């Protein structure tokens, strides 16, 4: 499912979604959500400032203007979806369809996720296209809310020939390795395991086990272990090896995790210039 808006990330989201659709042999749905807008303008009390007749006429005019804006937004969304399905079909997507909903992206994604194998979303939305160092609010909320894998598209699409797994030996990163092995999405691509820290002690055994799993699935993983902060090490190695896609664990769901500022997931998403596949 490609989650689309009118931001400059739209084409990249479509292209990566089409790529994933072909790799997974899964039908593609292009989704556009019309956010509900709540405004107190129509219900405000102007009677102290203007006459009753003037007030009534003004409120009617505001209501009609609001309805017109809603119709235009719906038409714009339909045009976006029509263009998206055409682009996706040309890029090799399987059976691209369009879907327009009212509500919020988070609500819609959580309602539909049971039938979705992979969400694809832009790093930033239409309101923060050039907000370097900031993530779109929809992205953070969606990542925290959904349980399906989510591919965060970079600003421009480029062919995916290699990927790296950010590995720290945790349950989440071990599940990332297992999911990579089980899915056809990345089969046949160059594989790297990036570790920030040391491979001494338990980490060595976990790394060896991860390598064995990947090798059994047909990969030839290249392990890179470097000391330092995870986000810095990941960024350096992604650039050094010209990695096309990063795989890592997503946020936790607990309320405590919601309060963490500057977590590794957030830092990597903010600074990484390649798409990031977030897995539970």
Q: Give this prediction's pTM.
A: 0.83
- Say which CATH topology domain 160-279 has: Rossmann fold (3.40.50)
Which pLDDT belongs to residue 256? Answer: 41
Distance CA 201, CA 5 (A): 47
Using CA atoms, how far apart are residues 280 and 277, in angstroms rounded to an integer?
A: 10
> What CATH number matches the domain at 2-37+71-150, 1.10.10.10, 3.40.50.1370, 3.40.50.150, 3.40.50.12370?
3.40.50.12370
The residue ranges of every structural domain in the chain are: 2-37+71-150, 160-279
The CA distance from 236 to 184, in Å, is: 27
Using CA atoms, how far apart are residues 104 and 50, in angstroms rounded to an integer?
36
Domains 2-37+71-150 and 160-279 share a fold: yes
d(CA 56, CA 60): 6
Q: What per-residue confidence (pLDDT) applies to 51?
A: 60
Contact status, residue 251 vs residue 172, Cβ threshold 8 Å: no
- pLDDT tens digits, the chain, 280 residues: what are they? 999 998 899 999 999 999 999 999 999 999 999 986 533 344 444 445 556 667 777 777 777 777 777 788 788 889 999 999 999 999 999 889 999 999 999 999 999 999 999 999 998 655 544 445 456 667 888 888 899 999 999 999 999 999 999 998 888 889 999 999 999 999 999 999 999 888 777 889 999 999 999 999 999 999 999 998 888 899 999 999 999 999 998 865 444 444 334 477 777 888 788 999 999 7
C-alpha torsion sign, points 68, 73, 77, 83: positive
pLDDT score for 49: 54
DSSP string computed for the chain: -EEE-SSTTHHHHHHHHHHHHHHHT-EEEEEEEEE----STTT---TTTS-HHHHHHHHHHHHHHHHHHHHHHHHHHHHHHHHHHHHHHHTT-EEEEEEEEEE-HHHHHHHHGGG-S-EEEESS-TT-TT-TT---HHHHHHHHH--S-EEEE-SS-----EEEEE--SSHHHHHHHHHHHH-STTTTSEEEEEEES---THHHHHHHHHHHHHHHTT--PEEEEE-S-HHHHHHHHHHHTT-SEEEEE----SHHHHT-SS-HHHHHHHH--S-EEEE-
pLDDT for 201:
79
229/97 Cα distance (integer angstroms): 42
Q: Are strands 150-153 and 190-196 parallel, antiparallel or unpaired?
A: unpaired
- Which pLDDT score is estimated for 60? 77
Are the beta carbons of 66 and 57 closer than 8 angstroms? Answer: no
DSSP 139-169: HHHHHHH--S-EEEE-SS-----EEEEE--S
pLDDT at 43: 44
Q: Residue 253 and residue 127: Cα distance in Å, rounded?
A: 26
């Amino acid at each position: 499912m490609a989650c689309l808006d009118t931001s400059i990330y739209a084409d990249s989201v479509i292209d990566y979604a089409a790529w994933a659709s072909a790799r997974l042999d899964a039908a593609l749905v292009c989704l556009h959500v019309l956010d509900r807008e709540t405004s107190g303008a129509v219900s405000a009390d102007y009677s102290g400032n203007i006459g009753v007749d003037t007030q009534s006429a003004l409120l009617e005019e505001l209501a009609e203007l609001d309805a017109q804006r809603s119709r235009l937004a719906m038409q714009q969304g339909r045009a976006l979806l029509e263009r998206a399905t055409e682009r996706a079909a040309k890029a090799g997507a399987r059976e691209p369809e369009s879907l327009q909903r009212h509500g919020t992206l988070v609500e819609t994604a959580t309602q539909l996720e049971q039938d979705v194998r992979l969400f694809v979303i832009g790093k930033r939305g239409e309101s923060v296209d050039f907000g370097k160092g900031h993530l779109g609010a929809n992205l953070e909320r969606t990542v925290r809310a959904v349980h399906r894998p989510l591919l965060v598209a970079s600003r421009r699409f480029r062919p995916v020939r290699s990927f790296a797994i950010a590995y720290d030996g945790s349950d989440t990163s071990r599940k990332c390795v297992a999911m990579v092995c089980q899915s056809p999405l990345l089969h046949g691509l160059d594989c790297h395991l990036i570790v920030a820290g040391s491979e001494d002690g338990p980490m060595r055994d976990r790394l060896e086990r991860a390598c064995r799993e990947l090798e059994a699935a047909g990969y030839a993983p290249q392990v890179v272990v470097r000391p330092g902060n995870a986000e810095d090490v990941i960024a350096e190695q992604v650039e050094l090896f010209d990695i096309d896609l990063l795989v890592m664990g997503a946020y936790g769901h607990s309320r405590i995790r919601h309060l963490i500022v500057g977590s590794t997931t957030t830092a990597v998403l903010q600074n990484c210039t390649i798409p990031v596949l977030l897995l539970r």
